[in-house]
Amino acid sequence: MTVPHVVVGVDGSLVSVRALDQAAEEAARRGIALRVVYAVPDRDEAGPVLASSGSRVRERHPGVSVETKAVADGVVRALVRESADAVLTVVGPRGLGGLANLVCGAVSSRLAAQAHGPLLVVRGECPHDDRRDVLLGLASDTSTEAALYALEEAELRGARLRVLQSSTHRHTSPELPLLIPAMSPGQRSRPRVAVESRTVHTAPAHALVEATRDAVVVVIGSHRPGSGRGGHLGPVARTLLHHSHCPVVVVPTGCR
């Protein structure tokens, strides 16, 4: 049985260190393990970066179990594969070496559209004030998975959930507070999350980007076909990946 864990991609750059720190915090918050992955042509080159990464996490979060892994493969393929059994996959907005332009252009879209589970892109200043809102961009009926993830994130942080819904969405959004009892039985006793919902009538991408200024994290769905093996990012998700003022979580939706 696979131990629940967070995966983070590193390459030795400063931005990947930020991703490492964020991933370690996410693992500590959830009480699960952390797997640090370096995708590099020659695995022998990965030793110093992985050793330094492991030491940094153990020093800052001694209670988090850390595994380091060198992968001789392309970055996108490696992280998509690692995401299959991860609770969360974390990457930086850009990097050097193997992670160059990871979330700037075609590579970012491929990873965000192909990851098998939630992908966290570390953007903005990564605020640590958990009193800030968790923000959810709700675009369609396939956003249920993203809504559930955002609810769980708000519960973990003891934060309010703020929902922005586009007026072009033909159906009303689910009654988010009522989704909590629909989770697994062991979760039903957890406290309700305060939810504030607002409909955006024009420029939903711009409104969502502006709202990220006061959010600790923003959650958005990425539609997948029935197989769940890759999909596409909508314009709002693409805009957030480039311009959000806080970390972005892309959640696969509509895979069933």
pTM of structure: 0.86
Identify the band that residue 4 occupies on the pLDDT scale cut at 50, 70 and 90.
very high
Identify the band that residue 130 occupies on the pLDDT scale cut at 50, 70 and 90.
low
**What's the chain's average pLDDT?**
81
pLDDT digits (tens, 9 = 90+) for 12-42: 888 889 999 999 999 999 999 999 999 998 8
Total domains, the chain = 2
Q: How far is CA 175 from the centre of its chain?
A: 23
Judge whether 128 lies within some domain: no
User: Contact 8/38 with Cβ under 8 angstroms?
Assistant: no
CATH of the domain at 43: 3.40.50.620
Same domain, 81 and 105: yes
- Which of the two residues, 183 and 150, has the higher pLDDT score? 150
Average pLDDT over every residue of 67-89: 94
What's the pLDDT score for residue 212? 93
Judge whether 84 lies within some domain: yes
Q: Which of 57, 87, 121 is the last residue of a domain?
A: 121
Same domain, 108 and 179: no
Same domain, 145 and 101: no
Same domain, 116 and 137: no
What's the pLDDT score for residue 99? 43
Instruction: State which residues form the domain around 111.
Output: 5-121
What's the pLDDT score for residue 53? 97
What's the pLDDT score for residue 96? 39
Same domain, 97 and 205: no
Judge whether 127 lies within some domain: no
Average pLDDT over every residue of 131-148: 79
SS (H, E, C) 173-234: CCCHHHHHHHCCHHHCCCCCCCEEEEEECCCHHHHHHHHHHHEEEEEEEEECCCCCCCCCCC
Q: Which of 121, 148, 169 is the last residue of a domain?
A: 121
